[in-house]
Copies of this chain bind each other. A is one copy, B any other.
Amino acid sequence: MNRMATREELIRVGTEIIAQQGFNATGINAVLSKAGVPKGSFYYYFRSKEDFGLAVIEEVAKAYANQIDRFLKDDKVSPLQRIRNYLEAGMAVLGQYECTRGCLMGNLGQELASTNETFRAQLDAVFRSWKARFARCLEEAKKAGEIPQESDVDELTDFLVTGWEGASLQAKVTKSIQPMQAFVDILFGKVLKPA
């Protein structure tokens, strides 16, 4: 493999291990050995373990953003239905993995936000870019009369992302998608509705 392909493979394998064990507990040697890359060559691909972690966040954030766009730009259905489809697809995926996965960005936020300012700032930027996507969709929902004209879209967006992160954490702890279902039911039954 060439340098870029090897780097990508290390990111792919690293993502898997970090998703299971967290960032601090992930050893560079474990990543190299699982990727079949010679020990000692890590610093040819990354400046530091932190640099590696930031590259993992960047890749994963991109994949999540594409997934969000795929649903939120689906103009065959109404803006609120797009959000609902996105959340229900996420719930189905978590169910497939018996609720052991959750959101890697949420996991890393929980693990690293208070101890590492570089990670915190990058994760904050990731969540902001997701929130911007949901905010645009909620503005469309407002235009379509699916939520009241006077809705505070930024507050609703904070609420949506926050509640969804909490629900995916609780799904892991309870080993059940029920907390996600409760969130979706109340979100669309009480919060996001015409009046």
Chain A residues in the interface with B (C-beta under 8 A): 20-22, 24-25, 100-102, 106-107, 109-111, 113-115, 120, 123-124, 127, 155-156, 158-159, 161-167, 169-170, 172-175, 178-179, 182-183, 185-186, 190-191
Q: How many copies does the complex hold?
A: 2
B115 touches A110 (CB 8 A): no
A164: chain B residues within 8 A (beta carbon): 166
Which of A20, A155, A173 counts the most B-chain CB atoms under 10 A from its CB?
Answer: A173
A175→B170 CA distance, assembly (Å): 22
Q: Are B25 and A172 touching (Cβ within 8 A)? A: no
Q: B173–A120 contact, CB under 8 A? A: yes
Q: Complex formed: what's the CA distance from A132 to B108 in Å?
A: 29
Q: Which of these, B24, B124, B173, B182, contacts A175 with CB under 8 Å?
A: B124
Q: How far is the CA of A20 from the CA of B113 in the complex (A)?
A: 10
Q: Which residues of B contact A167 (CB under 8 A)?
A: 162-163, 166
Q: Give Cα distance in the complex from A139 to B109, angstroms.
A: 34
21 contacts between A and B (CB under 8 A): A21-B24, A24-B25, A25-B25, A100-B113, A101-B114, A107-B110, A109-B170, A110-B172, A113-B169, A120-B175, A155-B182, A158-B179, A158-B182, A158-B183, A159-B186, A162-B170, A165-B166, A165-B170, A169-B169, A190-B190, A191-B191
Query: Across the interface, which residues of B come within 8 angstroms of A100, CB to CB?
Result: 113-114
> Within the assembled complex, what's the spacing in Å between the Cα atoms of A167 and B106?
11
> What 3 A-B pairs come out closest when comparing CB atoms?
A166-B166, A110-B110, A158-B182
Query: A127 with B25: in contact, given A159-B182, A183-B159 (CB under 8 Å)?
Result: no
**Assembly CA distance A156 to B179 (angstroms):** 10
Q: A162-B167, A182-B155, A191-B190 are in contact. Are A172 and B101 (CB under 8 A)?
A: no
Q: Which chain B positions have C-beta within 8 A of A174?
A: 124, 127
Task: Choose among B21, B123, B169 the residue that contacts A109 (Cβ–Cβ < 8 A).
Answer: B169
